[in-house]
Amino acid sequence: MSTQISQNLEAASSQGIKSRRTTAAVVGILFIVQMLTAMVGTSLTQTFVDGDSTATPTAGVLFMLSAGLAVVGIGLLMYPILREVDPGLALWYPVLRTVEFAVSAACGLYLLTHLHVVPNHLLWVYVPTGFGGIVLTYLLLVSGLVPRPIAILGLVGYGVLTLGVPLDLLGILDMSAGPGQLLLAPGGLFELFILPIWLITRGFRPVGNTCR
């Protein structure tokens, strides 16, 4: 009987590890998808705004909505993982990612109906992106789910992104051009390359792993 129980526990443990590994890979892929579709959507939208007579806003909005759905998927998939670290704080991650999608969708609908963009529309999207990212990377940092340097890069990236929003609104810098774009670099590196590559190739480490 004890042998059978031990075998069942080992099987359950193995299944749990495989499930977490699959979740990590899917989240990594979704991070890449959301970044690429957002970049394409932003480019297409900007082409329309710049007055290209052959451009329509529909394609850009569809790409942005695709990015938003990927964002929601990331939030929902990460919640059970982050809940192991801090259930209360973890809940904010899918909530903020859903808010991010809602803001992006509202801006897209406005563009389609009025044929011009909401003023500072990207900045309003950056607000839930930044705060949600801070929640994610803080929990990654304290839990050891990913190596500390990766979590720190993300925390810095989302931190400067969040700080850049009021600076842009006050006219101190422009996050869409010139030196202001540098504020997007750490977060972009984190979301498009560093974190996805780690999750796809290595997966999550056990909670409480503080090794580098």
Contact at 8 Å (CB) between 105 and 112? no
Cα distances (angstroms) measured from residue 165 to each of 35, 84, 88, 171, 183: 19, 31, 26, 10, 10
Q: What are phi and psi of 209, to 5 degrees?
A: -80, 105
Q: What is the DSSP string of 141-204?
A: HHHTSS-HHHHHHHHHHHHHHHHHHHHHHTTS--TTSGGGGGGGHHHHHIIIIIHHHHHHHT-P
Q: Which residue has the tokens 């329509």?
A: 56
Q: pLDDT (tens digit, 0 to 9) for every residue of the chain, 212 residues total?
A: 455 444 443 444 455 578 899 999 999 999 999 999 999 999 999 899 888 867 889 999 999 999 999 999 999 999 999 999 999 999 999 999 999 999 999 999 999 999 989 999 989 999 999 999 999 999 999 999 999 999 999 999 999 999 999 999 999 999 988 889 999 999 999 999 999 999 999 999 998 876 56
Phi-psi category of 144—alpha, beta or left, where left has phi over 0 and alpha has psi -120 to 50?
left
Query: What residues does each domain of the chain span?
Result: 2-201
pTM of the entire predicted model: 0.91
d(C-alpha 72, C-alpha 5), whole Å: 38
